[in-house]
Amino acid sequence: MGIAHPYVLRDALESTKPVLTAWSSVPDTGFVSTVARQPFDCVTLDMQHGGHDERSVYDGVDAVVALHKSCVVRIPVGRFDMASRALDFGADAVIAPMVNSVDDAKAFAAAVKYPPVGGRSWGPSRALSIRGLEGGDAHLHNANRATVSFAMIETREAMTALDDILAVDGIDGVFVGPADFSIAWSNGESVDPRRDDMMDTIAEIAQRATAVGKYAGIFAVVPSDAPKFHAMGYGLIAIGFDTAVVAAGARAVLSAANGS
C-alpha cells in the first residue's frame, strides 16, 4: 500500500470554516493539476457545462487527490450512472444538477450509496488504488459516510420539494445553482445569479438544510460573496471558475505591465 489519501471532505464540511472549491471546466489533466496546486481546499470537475468527460474525470480525480485536495465531480443532468463511476474513480463527492423531485433525489441516492442505504454496485478498485486504502468490509462500511452527495436546487419544482428531497436517506446535502435559480425565479425573463430579491430564499435553503443536519453548498459567481453565503449556512462554496481566474489574472498582469 502506498501513501494513504483518506477522504477528508466530510470532516471539512463539519468544521466551521467554509470549504472553498475551484471549479474546473478545462478537461486537461495538466491544467487540473495546476488548479489543484493553488491554495483551494478542493477542486470540482464539471461535466455538466464544463468540458470534462469520463476520461478527464478518471485522470483528474487522481491528479487532485495526489495533491491531498478533495475532488468533487458535477455530473451531467440525470447521469446517475456517472455519479457511481465518479466515486469509483475516487471522487470525494458528487453534485447532481437539476434534482427537481423526490424521485430524482432517490435515484441519485441509490447510485451513490451502497446498501442498505442505496443500490450502488461494488467496484471501487480505482478509488482504493489512488487513495492507497484497503478495500473489503472496512471500505464498504465507511464509503457511504466518507463520500458526499449534493443534490442541486435550481428550479421552482426543487424548491417546492426541498424538505422531501432533504429527507431522502443518502442525500447528504443540497447545492444551489443561482444562475438557473434566477431564470426560474424570473419565469425565464433573465439570468442574474446575484439578484437581491432571491437572497432571502437562498438563505432559507441553507437554513432548512442545516436544520435537518444536511450540508449546503452554492456557486458564488462573485468570489467576494463567499462570506455572505457562509454566514447564511453554506459550507461548500464554489469560487474559482478556472477560465475566469485565468482571465482575471491576465487583466491584472496586463494592467500592471501598462502601469495602470
Q: Is 177 in the site for Mg ion (CB under 5 A)?
A: yes
Binding status of residue 217 toward ligand 3PY by CB under 6 A: no
Query: Which residues are CB-neighbours of 51 under 8 A, at least 6 positions away?
Result: 25, 26, 27
Which one among 88, 104, 180, 242 touches Mg ion, defined by CB under 5 A?
180
Q: Provide, rounded to whole angstroms, the least separation between the CB of residue 179 and Mg ion.
A: 6
The interface mask with ligand 3PY, positions 177-206, x = CB under 6 A, is xxxx------------x-------------
CA distance 177 to 237: 11
Query: Which is closer to Mg ion, CB of 92 or CB of 180?
Result: 180
Q: Alpha helix locations (H) across the chain?
A: 9-14, 29-36, 54-66, 80-88, 102-112, 125-131, 136-146, 156-160, 162-166, 178-185, 199-211, 226-232, 242-257
Say how far apart CA 70 and CA 95 lie, in whole Å: 13
Interface with ligand 3PY, residue 225, by CB under 6 A: no
Q: Does 46 bind Mg ion (CB under 5 A)?
A: no
CA angle 41, 234, 161 (to 5 degrees): 130
Residue nearest to ligand 3PY (CB): 177
> Which residues here bind ligand 3PY, judged by CB under 6 A?
97, 154, 177-180, 193, 219
> Which residues here bind Mg ion, judged by CB under 5 A?
154, 177, 180
